[in-house]
Amino acid sequence: MQPLPTTMRAVHQSAYGGPDVLDIVTLPVPQPGPGEVLLRIFASDVTSGDARIRAFNVPGIFWLPGRLSLGIFGPRNTLPGVDFSGEIIAVGSGVTRWQVGTRVFGQHGFFGSHAEYRLLPETAAMAEIPAGLSFAEAAALPFGGFTVLDFFNRGRYRKGESLLVNGGSGAVGVAAIQIAKAYGSPVTAISSTRNLDTLRALGADTVLDYTAPGFALPQNAFDVVFDTVGNMRWAGIAPSLRPGGRFYEAVISGGLLLDALRNGKRMVIGTGNPTPEGAAELARLASMGALKPVIDSRFAMADIRAAHARVDTGRKVGAVVLEL
């Protein structure tokens, strides 16, 4: 067995702000302790969540709790990155679930994956990369996939229910379309003109162009409305829901929080919660071709600022992948 490397490159965030707060630094490679594995990361992705944390872009009602959690005067955790894909190169004592040489993808916490190496507990939300998927393709799956599975679980989604996806071309949107179709649901997706063909190719039964004159949602048409963008409110959604229908909101604002408090179990808000079981489900869907990675663009680690700038445009289709 070759000796482990002693240093690594990692993305470092010095302050809250635009992409220019990000730089590349050299750090020691951590060593696995009991119950831990050391992952050589080959790809990650820059998610909308990464961009919001970098800029501290949170609703006013969450400003103080957010600062207390992330850091009052600057980021407490300076190594960003949510998702990862790579190869396990070392395991600590007591590890039985994983072996050296296994290719894995997943998500653990909100930080640390934009680096060449990362320590993970063997219980982290990760799964073996299906055969035929590259590291870059595997890195495009976790953020959207985990979010969708978590909302489906908390929102009591039932296979076959009709689904409307707002923001169908984002990482969460493309995952929602494909996973719902794999579960036998009729899917309607909303996007702009330039992305309609992409959403049809992913399996959407109906696509709606929000830029078209007279755009409106059909009434009493959906069991679930999944807003991945954050520009919908309950009052505008309610007429389009069938009796017992639910509204999933992945981007929280103060107004949407009040909506959720008023409407109880009919509205689900928050962020996705990754689990080992969810990772296994994403791997299963990907291995059978039901969940295909959608990559908007690829960037080298040295171009991390450009990758964040691409996410900041709000026009990406699928995932912005960082190749390490």
41 and 103 share one domain? yes
Place of tokens 């916490």: 109
Query: Looking at residue 244, which CATH number applies to its domain?
Result: 3.40.50.720
Q: Specify if 283 maps to a domain.
A: no
155 and 125 share one domain? no
3-state secondary structure (DSSP) of residue 102: coil
With bands split at pLDDT 50, 70 and 90, how would you rate the model's confidence at 266? Answer: confident
Q: What is the share, in percent, of the chain residues with pLDDT greater than 70?
A: 97
109 and 36 share one domain? yes
178 and 136 share one domain? no
Total domains in the fold of the chain: 2
200 and 215 share one domain? yes
Q: Are 28 and 6 in contact (CB under 8 A)?
A: yes
pLDDT at position 58 is 83
Q: Are 182 and 201 in contact (CB under 8 A)?
A: no
pLDDT at position 31 is 93
100 and 195 share one domain? no
Strands 83-91 and 103-107: antiparallel
Element (H, E) at 103: strand 103-107
Q: Tokens standing for 204?
A: 């959407």
Helix-helix angle 171-182:276-287, to 10 degrees: 70
- pLDDT tens digits, one per residue of 124-173: 999 999 999 999 999 999 999 999 999 999 999 999 999 999 999 999 99
Average pLDDT over residues 299-319: 96
> Secondary structure of the chain: what % helix, strand, coil (to 5)?
30, 30, 40
pLDDT at position 230 is 84
Q: Specify if 103 maps to a domain.
A: yes
**Domain encompassing residue 187:** 143-269
19 and 99 share one domain? yes
167 and 215 share one domain? yes
250 and 299 share one domain? no
Q: Specify if 285 maps to a domain.
A: no
- pLDDT tens digits, one per residue of 64-81: 888 888 999 999 999 999
233 and 115 share one domain? no
Of 13-27, 181-195, 201-215, 264-278, the least confident: 264-278
Q: Specify if 88 maps to a domain.
A: yes
Query: Looking at residue 72, which CATH number applies to its domain?
Result: 3.90.180.10
Q: Specify if 275 maps to a domain.
A: no
Mean pLDDT of the chain: 93
Of 58-62, 69-73, 109-113, the least confident: 58-62
Q: Specify if 216 maps to a domain.
A: yes
pLDDT at position 2 is 66
Between the alpha carbon of residue 225 and those of residues 161, 221, 232, 291, the distances in Å are 11, 10, 10, 20
Average pLDDT over residues 282-298: 97
SS (H, E, C) 300-315: EHHHHHHHHHHHHCCC
With bands split at pLDDT 50, 70 and 90, how would you rate the model's confidence at 254? Answer: low
Q: Specify if 58 maps to a domain.
A: yes
